């Protein structure tokens, strides 16, 4: 069970009458079907008519009847990666109980700091540790500019560079893939998520997750992976593969943005006005930081863009920080 990520956090949630129940970790979520990993390997979880599969995330722990595998209850999550998709009322669950988020991009045209920032905000908000994984190092003339730009995105951010197709990739990622650890892979289509999964889980031949070629002209992938799935790794942990996300819109990530733009968030309490926009107000500590050289103007610009988007997308009811702007000033989208 420990190899599947079971920990004291989940153990503490078990009632005295629940210790004999089956503990299963959700591995795939389909429209009308759930599968899970348990001590006996992969199994189907039976759902009562009152439960919807969309209530579950890959990585969730559930309790089920040991005989019938009928679902009984889901345990509380310690981290949930979720995103709002355009037009949808409820957020889409990306993965649950994830310790580390591998944000995968390649040392080519896929590399896009603005997109990486969005994934970082998502990971920070879920309190999942982000790691930037730069693939296709073998195809780049030099990887240094990619590494430097990635490191500058967030204070203390881990950045690794590798060739996803080689066994050494598993060694580079080993610090986050130890026994009981769960990692999830996110990134655009074609960056090598499935290739990394196959390397980490040592999957070959029929077991291997299908990988696809990329289009030569723009380094874009072909969306080979179409569903999320959880797999056990060589090192005794779990890895969750996710399909490439085309556009990641931000909502409900105010705390995640504060971690991403720590140098701005730290100064903001010293501004004269509590609702300072750090644009033109007198007594603005962030503008003072720009004058002093401790805040870079382009970082403030990007913070503003993402903070505005977050405000626009965050409903009034979900917390005091997502909606400082008065209703009338909200932009039409
Ligand atoms: N040379 C080299 N090729 C790589 C590397 N990583 C991935 N590839 C190749 O890039 C292509 C796309 O890789 P995938 O693993 O399918 O990408 P993905 O991110 O899973 O894509 P989706 O499933 O569409 O989301 C495949 O042909 C891989 O063999 C790398 O580090 N070096
Ligand atoms: Zn200010």
- pLDDT of the chain along its 333 residues, tens only? 888 999 999 999 999 999 999 999 999 998 889 999 998 899 999 999 999 999 999 999 999 999 999 999 999 999 999 887 777 777 888 999 999 999 999 999 999 999 999 999 999 999 999 999 999 999 999 999 999 999 999 999 999 999 999 999 999 999 999 999 999 999 998 999 999 999 998 876 666 665 655 544 455 555 455 578 999 998 899 999 987 677 788 888 999 999 999 999 999 999 999 989 999 899 999 999 999 999 999 999 999 999 999 988 877 554 444 444 333 333 333
Is the minimum distance from the CB of 311 to ligand 1 under 6 angstroms? no
Q: How far is the CA of 286 from the centre of ligand 2 (A)?
A: 5
In contact, 157 and 292? CB cutoff 8 Å: no
Q: What pLDDT does 91 receive?
A: 81
Q: What pLDDT does 331 receive?
A: 38
Is the minimum distance from the CB of 161 to ligand 1 under 6 angstroms? no
Q: What pLDDT does 242 receive?
A: 85
Binding positions for GTP:
135-138, 187-195
Q: What pLDDT does 100 receive?
A: 97
Q: What pLDDT does 289 receive?
A: 97
Q: How far is the CA of 326 from the centre of ligand 1 (A)?
A: 45
* Domains of the chain listed by start with CATH number: 2-74 (2.40.50.140), 80-241 (3.40.50.300), 254-329 (1.10.40.50)
- 102's tokens: 């591998």
In contact, 200 and 189? CB cutoff 8 Å: no
Report which bound ligand comes closest to the CA of 278. Answer: 2
Ligand 1 atom closest to residue 137's alpha carbon, by position in its atom list: 31
Give dist(CA 246, CA 47) in Å, integer. 31
Residue nearest to atom 7 of ligand 1 (CA): 192
Residue nearest to atom 4 of ligand 1 (CA): 136
Q: How far is the CA of 306 from the centre of ligand 1 (A)?
A: 29
Is the minimum distance from the CB of 186 to ligand 1 under 6 angstroms? no
Residue nearest to atom 16 of ligand 1 (CA): 211
Q: What pLDDT does 227 receive?
A: 75
Sheet of 71-74: strand order equals 41-45, 34-38, 22-29, 61-64, 71-74
What is the enclosing helix (H) or strand (E) of 258?
Answer: helix 254-260
Binding positions:
135-138, 187-195, 271, 276, 278, 284
Give dist(CA 91, CA 251) in Å, integer. 10
Q: What pLDDT does 326 receive?
A: 38
* Among the listed residues 149, 154, 146, 86, the one whose alpha carbon sits nearest the alpha carbon of residue 123: 154
Is the minimum distance from the CB of 199 to ligand 1 under 6 angstroms? no
Best probe residue, ligand 1, of 190, 219, 239 (max atoms within 8 Å of C-beta): 190
280 Cβ contact list (under 8 Å, min separation 6):
none
Ligand 1 atom closest to residue 223's alpha carbon, by position in its atom list: 24
In contact, 187 and 221? CB cutoff 8 Å: no
């Amino acid at each position: 069970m420990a190899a599947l990520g079971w920990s004291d956090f989940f153990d503490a949630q078990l009632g005295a009458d629940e210790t004999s129940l089956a503990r299963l970790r959700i591995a795939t979520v389909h429209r009308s079907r759930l599968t899970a990993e348990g001590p006996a390997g992969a199994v189907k979880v039976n759902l009562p008519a009152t439960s919807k599969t969309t209530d579950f995330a890959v990585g969730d722990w559930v309790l089920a009847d040991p005989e019938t595998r009928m679902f009984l209850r889901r345990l509380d999550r310690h981290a949930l990666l979720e995103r709002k998709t355009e037009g949808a009322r409820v957020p889409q669950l990306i993965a649950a109980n994830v310790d580390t988020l591998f944000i995968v991009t390649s040392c080519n045209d896929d590399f896009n700091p603005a997109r990486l920032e969005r994934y970082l905000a998502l990971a920070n908000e879920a309190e999942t540790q982000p790691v930037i994984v730069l693939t296709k190092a073998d195809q780049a003339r030099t990887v240094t500019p990619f590494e430097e730009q990635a490191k500058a995105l967030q204070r203390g951010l881990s950045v690794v560079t590798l060739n996803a197709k080689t066994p050494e990739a598993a060694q580079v990622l080993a610090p986050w893939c130890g026994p009981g650890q769960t990692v999830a892979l996110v990134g655009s289509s074609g960056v090598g998520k499935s290739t990394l999964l196959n390397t980490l889980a040592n999957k070959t031949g029929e077991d291997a997750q299908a990988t696809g070629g990329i289009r030569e002209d723009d380094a874009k992938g072909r969306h080979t992976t179409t569903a999320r799935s959880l797999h056990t790794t060589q090192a005794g942990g779990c890895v969750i593969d996710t399909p490439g996300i085309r556009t990641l819109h931000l909502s409900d990530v105010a705390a995640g943005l504060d971690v991403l733009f720590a140098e701005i968030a730290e100064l903001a309490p010293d501004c004269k006005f509590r609702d300072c926009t750090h644009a033109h107000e007198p007594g603005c500590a962030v503008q003072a930081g720009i004058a002093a050289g401790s805040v870079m103007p382009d970082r403030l610009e990007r913070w503003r863009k993402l903070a505005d988007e977050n405000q626009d997308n965050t409903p009034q009811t979900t917390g005091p920080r997502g909606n400082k702007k008065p209703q009338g000033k909200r932009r039409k989208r």
